[in-house]
Amino acid sequence: MASSSPAPWGAVCLLCALSLGMLFSSTLHASTQPDTSAPWREPIRALWTINPDVQVARADLDAAYARARAADQPLYNPALALEAENADVDRRTAQLSLTLDVSGKRRARATQGQAELRVAQAAYDLQRQLTAQQWLKVWSTLSLATRQRELGQQRLALMQRFDDLAAQRLKVGDISSPERDLAGLALGEAQMQQATLVGNEAAVRAALLALADDTHTIAPPPWPHSFPPSTASMAPRAVADLPQVVLAQAREASADAAIRVAQRNRLPDPTVSLTGGRVRAGPVTDRVIGVSVSVPLPVLNSGRADVDAARADADAAIAKLQGERLRARAALQEAQARYEALRTAAASFQNSRAAAFQERTALQEKLWRAGELGTSDYLVQLKQSLDTALSGLELENQAWQAWFDYLTAAGRLNDWIDGRMQEAAP
């Protein structure tokens, strides 16, 4: 008699349930990863299409494509010469000549053209990254100036209300005349500070318009409510893959190709000519066919100086590449350390009592109205609260700007803009 054995089936069901649960959990975790770059994605892509610096780099890239195609074309075109002579001897001849590229000049120039194309491509990629970084930092500065101006407006409203209340309390004798004057002075100072904040916002907005004057296409997004992620979410690329290093490597390869071009230019190429025609002398007419070969002699200019100059340029390109690698490593270490420090400080500030500006100012005004806080003490504490709130905004802005600097130094700014967050470094 066969007996059922539910234990293995139960284990299988349990295993399936656990697997589905883990899959659902991992999918939910992946889907809840914040995409901090989403608000900037479309504005930056639009920026790349209208920014003058990017347009210049794009035009240089198109020119490099054309020059690469031109460098791969044959160096010499055939030449046709027609000759006619009426004298004692009538001559009618045609000559077809062609210089032969036996030294490999075309191949060397094609190699240099491809190297120059890689230089232009690397310069275009780097310019797009630098333009995006510049726009993001100016935008964050504008967001800071706007929020500071809004906070200053709250300060101005508080001081205006404080001045009105002081005037009322002076009438009933709750405060003295010097305390009333102190409220008026505080209001005047707040008005002057607000004018400064408005001017700062206008200056930063002008800097943003200098990058792209099409304000309808490039609409800056609102300030994000979350902090940028940790640097672990965007591991830096290898030094050799950083845009500025790639550009230096491309220039070094182009300089090497220029040496080979200069060396090939020193070698003369022969010109082969084929002549055919008719020669008539009196009643006698003869057909003539001739072949000639001419080779230029590099006597007056051997081209050695051009080779020496190309080698010196290559040495300079190698040195620049080494320097770029050193600067890239140093910039990455500095940007990473600065960002982590600012991010930690900004998060600590936001989670502390120092960030509770609205609650604190309301409590201070309540205590002053109740007579439990003197006028001078109220002004000192209110000023401290406002200064702390402004410093908190500045700290948060510095954390975001440090994040943009880190992404640039790590060569991951474009990846972040495209939403490729948890991507491992190449």
Tens digit of each residue's pLDDT (9 = 90 or more) over 359-376: 777 777 777 677 777 777
Which pLDDT band holds residue 10 (cuts at 50, 70, 90)? very low
**Quick one: average pLDDT of 382-388?**
80
pLDDT at 133 over 60: yes
CB distance 222 to 39 below 8 Å:
yes
- Tokens representing residue 144 in the block: 């800071």
Phi, psi (deg, nearest 5) at residue 80: -115, 130
* Alpha-carbon span 142 to 136, nearest angstrom: 10
pLDDT at 189 over 70: yes
* Alpha-carbon span 280 to 359, nearest angstrom: 114
Task: Count CB-CB contacts under 10 A for residue 34.
Answer: 13
Of the given ranges (100-114, 243-257, 390-404), which has the lowest mean pLDDT?
A: 390-404
Domain ranges of the chain: 38-71+113-266+303-417, 76-102+270-297
Alpha helices in 173-242 (DSSP H): 177-211
**Sequence-ordered strand ranges (E) for 295-373:** none
CB distance 272 to 98 below 8 Å:
yes
* Architecture of the domain whose range is 38-71+113-266+303-417: Up-down Bundle (1.20)
* Alpha-carbon span 215 to 208, nearest angstrom: 9
Which pLDDT band holds residue 415 (cuts at 50, 70, 90)? confident
Contacts of 192 (CB under 8 A, 6+ apart): none
> pLDDT for 212-270, tens place per residue?
765 555 666 777 777 788 888 888 999 999 999 999 999 999 999 999 999 999 999 99
Of the given ranges (64-73, 86-95, 98-107, 108-117), which has the lowest mean pLDDT?
A: 86-95
DSSP code of residue 419: T
Of the given ranges (22-36, 108-122, 377-391), which has the lowest mean pLDDT?
A: 22-36
Task: Count CB-CB contacts under 10 A for residue 215.
Answer: 11
Which pTM was predicted?
0.78
| 3-state DSSP assignment of residue 90 | strand
pLDDT at 5 over 60: no
Which pLDDT band holds residue 28 (cuts at 50, 70, 90)? very low
Residue 280's alpha-carbon distances to 276, 292, 355, 398, in angstroms, are: 14, 22, 107, 93
* Alpha-carbon span 30 to 44, nearest angstrom: 25
∠ CA 248-251-256, nearest 5°, is: 130
Please tell me the predicted confidence (pLDDT) of residue 36. Answer: 63
CB distance 306 to 262 below 8 Å:
yes
> pLDDT for 300-332, tens place per residue?
888 999 999 999 999 999 999 999 999 999 999
Mean pLDDT of the chain: 82
* Alpha-carbon span 219 to 147, nearest angstrom: 17
